[in-house]
Structure 1
Amino acid sequence: MTDLSSFPITKKWPAVYPEQIQLYSLPTPNGVKVSIMLEETGLPYEVHLVSFDTQDQLTPEFISLSSNNKIPAILDPNGPGGQPLALFESGAILIYLAEKSGQLLPQDAAGRYQAIQWVMFQMGGIGPMFGQLGFFHKFAGKDYEDKRPLARYVAEVKRLLGVLDARLVGRSWIMGDDYSIADIATFPWVRNLIGFYNAGELVAINDYPQVLRVLDSFVARPAVARGLEIPAR
Structure 2
Amino acid sequence: MIINILAGGPVELLPDLTDYAADNTIWVGVDRGVFHLLKRNIKPEIAFGDFDSVSTEELLFIEGQVAEMKRYNPEKNETDMELALNWALEQKPSMIRLFGATGGRLDHLLANVHLLLVPLKGKNSTNVYLIDRNNIVFLKEPGSYTIEKIKTKKYISFVPLTLDVSGITLKGFKFPLENQHISLGSTLCISNELISDYGTFSFSEGILIVIRSHD
Whose helix fraction is larger, Structure 1's or Structure 2's?
Answer: 1
Q: Same fold (TM over 0.5)?
A: no
Higher relative contact order (CA 8 A, sep 6+): 1
* TM-score, normalization by structure 2: 0.29
